[in-house]
Structures are given as structure tokens and as C-alpha cells.
Amino acid sequence: MSALAGLLEAIVAEARPQAARGTVARYIPALARVPADRFGIAVVELDGSVHASGDAHERFSIQSIAKLFSVTQALRAIGEGIFLRVGREPSGTAFNSLVQLEVERGIPRNPFLNAGALVVADVLLGAREAAFDELLAFIRERAGSGTIDVDREVLDSERATGFRNAALANFLRSFGNLTHGIDAVLAFYFAQCSIAMNCVELARSALFLANRGVCPRTGERVLTPSQCKRVNALMLTCGTYDAAGDFAYEVGLPAKSGVGGGIVAVIPERLAIAVWSPPLDPKGNSLAGSFALERFTTHTGWSIF
């Protein structure tokens, strides 16, 4: 067993009990049914080496982690123009807040908020003929797995309970910051949140962000070095909802979380790491997952600081 594999085994044992202090997301019925005792962790290094432990090969709904891939696609499609319609600042409010969006007249603070992701969806619908199919193909290619797909049960739950997201979309449209039909934008958004991946696939799919924008597996340049820097900066400052400051303080890595219990993080020029544990803290981040990442950076001494 490698030193990293041994460390991951120890972290799993240490982190699993932490999940008891969290609560699974219940406002999406399909997520409420996911067993709360699941815990997986995977590290993928730039040379392709994989180290995994726990339930690292079980797929789960990536939810808001998908926003990382959609904003990457938006940057590839229209470049910095995306930031004429969505900001780059932390929000300090809940990820699905309507109040801030109204006060700031339809310009979401950042692309990782639900409102920001709806604007990004609108951009992609205008830039790509088959926007969602291209996003899914992009994720499959980065992960090296052609079987990654939408979890239909989760998608049905998203559609049935997405009233707040519909309200956000209507706010955006009222301020002129959506150009496509609300139904089309919501369909894209719900589908991307319902994509299911496992920890190994998720870590591998984010590895280009640890490699100055180049996918190590294929050699393809996904983003320019400057764009890669910008995405990593957004992850650090906005990627874990309104707990981004605490997360940076405790973990010290650019990361993106989702209410399905997943978190993906990168250590530039070294590796990507993904964790999954469904119970969440009050801000919507995986409680045991955040704990595990803190343990990882503390034990290894690897962070961006």
C-alpha cells in the first residue's frame, strides 16, 4: 500500500463519524433517500496515479459541482464576456438567495450561485447548438468515462421541487439577464445538477485545473493558463457557498461543493481530490467531506498557502 493510500484509509476511519453531525439535503426528495453513511475519497495525481478509499467508486449526484464545468465551457465559448453578466465576488448569502439578486438588479455575484449558474446556462444555450449534450461530453472526456450520465430519479425530483430556481430565473429574465426561455434554461440547469459521478471520476475530471488548464490524460488544452487561474480563484473564493472563507482557512484549497455531498478540490501542479459524504453542514457543504480535506492538507502539508 502506498503512503497516500494508507493516509486515505486513515482519513476515512477518522472522518466517517463526523457525518452524524450533518443532515442530508431534504428539499430534493431523491437526495433525501441517499444513505447517510456513504463516504468516499479519491486522489488522482498528474501522472494518472489513482488512490481511493471507502465508497469512492459509487456514483452520486454532483449537483452544484456541475457549475464548475459549465463555467469552464462558458469561458471556452465566449471568454471574459461571461463576466459582463455575472460577477466574481463571494456572496455572503445563501446559494439560492433571491434578495441579493433583486437588490443588485439581476447580476448574480458569481457563477457558482444558483442565479449565476442560470446565467451561465443561458450563455451556453446561445453559444452551443446542443449545449447540454456538449457539456456532458466534455465531462465524460475529462473523466475518461463514457458512461457518466444524468440520474433520472434526481432529475425528476429537481423538476418537481425547483420552485426557487424558477423564481430566480424569472427575476433574471425581468432584469434582462436571460435571453432564452425560462423553461429551456431551467431544463439545462436541472439536468447538469443531476449528473452522477463517483469520486475517482470527479477527481480525474478536475485534473486540468491542477495542470495549468491542460488535461493530463489527453494532452488537450482545456483552458489557457490565465483562464485556469481565474477558475481556481473562483473556486477558492466562491466554491463552497457562503462558507468559502472558513473553508479556505481550514482546508486551503480551491474547491467546489454540491448539496449531493460531494466536494472536488485541486492542488496546482500536483493532484485533484474528491470526497463524498451526503450529510451537510448548515451552509450546504459535506460535513465529513470538509473534515476529510482538512485532515488531508494537514497530514500532507499540501495546500496553496
Distance (Å, whole) CA 21 – CA 23: 7
Q: Name the H helices within 94-181.
A: 99-103, 114-127, 131-143, 152-161, 163-174
Give the span between the Cα atoms of 53 and 289, in whole angstroms.
13
- 257 catalytically annotated: no
- Whether 259 is catalytic is yes
Q: Is 27 a catalytic residue?
A: no
For cell 470526497, the residue is 275
Catalytic residue (choose from 34, 241, 266, 290): 241
Residue 229 designated active-site: no
Looking up cell 425528476, which residue turns up? Answer: 156
Cβ burial, residue 47 (10 Å; 0-12/13-18/19+): exposed
Active-site option among 34, 91, 189, 256: 189
How far from 244 is each of 97, 163, 255, 261, 275, CA to CA, in Å? Answer: 16, 26, 9, 16, 17
Concatenated DSSP letters of 188-238: HHHHHHTEEE-HHHHHHHTGGGGTTTB-TTT--B-S-HHHHHHHHHHHHHH
E strand or H helix that includes residue 250? helix 244-250
Given 119, 259, 264, 266, the catalytic residue: 259
Integer-rounded Cα radius of gyration of the chain: 18
Q: Which of 234, 236, 235, 279 has its CA nearest to residue 259?
A: 279
Cα 215 to Cα 71: distance, rounded to the nearest angstrom: 17
Q: Which candidate, 260, 279, 231, 261, places its Cα nearest to that of 120?
A: 231
Nearest to 216 by CA among 225, 207, 224: 207
Q: Please indicate whether residue 249 is annotated as part of the active site.
A: no
Catalytic residues: 64, 67, 189, 241, 259
